[in-house]
């Protein structure tokens, strides 16, 4: 029987699937691509991203331009919250991913998109992983949430409910919004690293924006190839952490097994809606497809 891609680490990777970043191998064009993306997003995010993210951007302002050298970046990140960034060759097995998070290691790819992919890239690259995630890992409360998620992920493997827990990651870590400063602000890495979605998520009338509810989130499917048609809005990172660490997930998984999944555009009577979306964007995309 042929080996599965996740049966063992690829050639050159350690037992935990990490590899050297090999910062010296990046080309001048690679670094220029990072600088273009960094400058564009940094100019767009004030007034859109949450205060914790904007504060955390300072950990990325290192001694030299271009793609961050993880060794230098980790000195600053470790001092802030005890986290570090480790390079991996691509996707890693779920158990490996969760173990890294539980031990305050964030796995990041070490390639960067081509210049013709500035506006959209389906596979996460070093800009998404580092610019999108690392600033929030410099916030002590969110850093604790990520470690708690990793521990919960390891436990979820014994319940066969990984798909449900993945939705929590998707709708918080990747595409979360928070109520702050009298409005909505971005904190999800998939939004803050995207030039288009960092505007769409707050400004477009199409998506629903719903107050965060743990069970509701874990029932809701998502799509990876387009803008979201629902965003869940947390009250604070303290509340998100509290709900995560105080919830007994075993009975929650059992309850979810008896409930139907929800589509991204579905609404429930119990939803606390902040914005009822028009779904115009979703309808237009469906017509194109």
Give the orientation angle of helix 249-257 with respect to helix 140-156, to 10 degrees.
60
Does residue 14 belong to any structural domain of this protein? no
User: Model confidence over 193-252: pLDDT tens digits?
Assistant: 999 999 999 999 999 999 999 999 999 999 888 899 999 999 999 999 999 999 999 999
11 in active site: no
Instruction: Compute CA 221 distance to the chain's CA centroid, rounded to the nearest angstrom.
Output: 16
Does residue 7 belong to any structural domain of this protein? no
Q: Does the pTM exceed 0.85?
A: yes
174 in active site: yes
- Domain count for the chain, please give it: 1
Does residue 10 belong to any structural domain of this protein? no
User: Mean pLDDT lowest for which of 4-8, 28-32, 142-146, 193-197?
Assistant: 4-8
Does residue 11 belong to any structural domain of this protein? no
pLDDT band at 286 (very low <50, low <70, confident <90, very high): low
Look at the chain and count its residues. Answer: 289
**Catalytic: which of 100, 133, 189, 194?**
133
**Catalytic: which of 161, 193, 194, 206?**
193
Q: What's the confidence (pLDDT) of residue 3?
A: 43
Does residue 224 belong to any structural domain of this protein? yes
User: Model confidence over 75-86: pLDDT tens digits?
Assistant: 999 999 999 999
Q: What's the confidence (pLDDT) of residue 6?
A: 67
**Catalytic: which of 161, 174, 197, 198?**
174
**Cα–Cα distances in angstroms (integers) from residue 35 to residues 121, 220, 225, in the given order:** 17, 36, 25
Does residue 12 belong to any structural domain of this protein? no
Tokens matching residue 167:
């939705």
Tokens matching residue 120:
């959209």
194 in active site: no
Does residue 13 belong to any structural domain of this protein? no
Does residue 142 belong to any structural domain of this protein? yes
pLDDT band at 89 (very low <50, low <70, confident <90, very high): confident
- Confirm if 85 and 74 have CB atoms less than 8 A apart: yes
Give one DSSP letter per residue of 16-70, joined into a string: TS-----GGG--HHHHHHHHHHHHHHHHH-TTTB-HHHHHHGGGG--SSSSSPPH
Question: Which domain range does residue 217 map to?
Answer: 23-288
CATH number at residue 271: 1.10.800.10
């Amino acid at each position: 029987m042929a080996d599965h891609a996740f049966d063992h680490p690829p050639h050159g990777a350690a037992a935990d699937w990490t590899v050297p970043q090999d910062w010296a191998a990046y080309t001048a064009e690679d670094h220029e691509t990072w600088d273009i993306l960094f400058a564009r997003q940094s100019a767009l995010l004030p007034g859109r991203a949450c205060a914790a993210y904007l504060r955390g951007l300072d950990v990325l302002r290192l001694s030299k331009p271009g793609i961050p050298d993880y060794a230098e970046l980790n000195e600053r990140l470790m001092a802030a919250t005890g986290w570090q960034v480790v390079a991996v060759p691509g996707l890693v097995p779920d158990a490996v991913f969760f173990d890294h998070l539980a031990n305050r290691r964030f796995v990041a790819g070490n390639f960067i998109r081509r210049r013709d992919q500035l506006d959209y890239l389906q596979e996460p690259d070093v800009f998404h992983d580092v610019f999108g995630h690392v600033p929030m890992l410099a916030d002590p409360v969110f850093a604790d949430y990520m470690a708690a998620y990793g521990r919960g992920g390891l436990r979820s493997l014994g319940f066969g409910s990984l798909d449900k827990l993945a939705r929590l990651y998707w709708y918080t870590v990747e595409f979360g919004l928070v109520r702050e400063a009298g409005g909505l602000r971005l904190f999800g890495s998939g939004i803050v690293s995207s030039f288009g979605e960092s505007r769409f998520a707050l400004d477009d009338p199409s998506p629903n924006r719903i107050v965060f509810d743990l069970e509701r989130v874990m029932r809701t499917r998502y799509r990876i190839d387009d803008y979201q048609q629902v965003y869940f809005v947390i009250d604070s990172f303290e509340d998100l952490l509290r709900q995560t660490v105080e919830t007994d997930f075993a009975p929650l998984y059992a309850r979810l097994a008896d409930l139907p999944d929800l589509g991204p555009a579905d609404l429930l009577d119990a939803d606390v809606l902040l914005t009822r979306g028009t779904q115009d964007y979703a309808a237009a995309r469906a017509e194109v497809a």
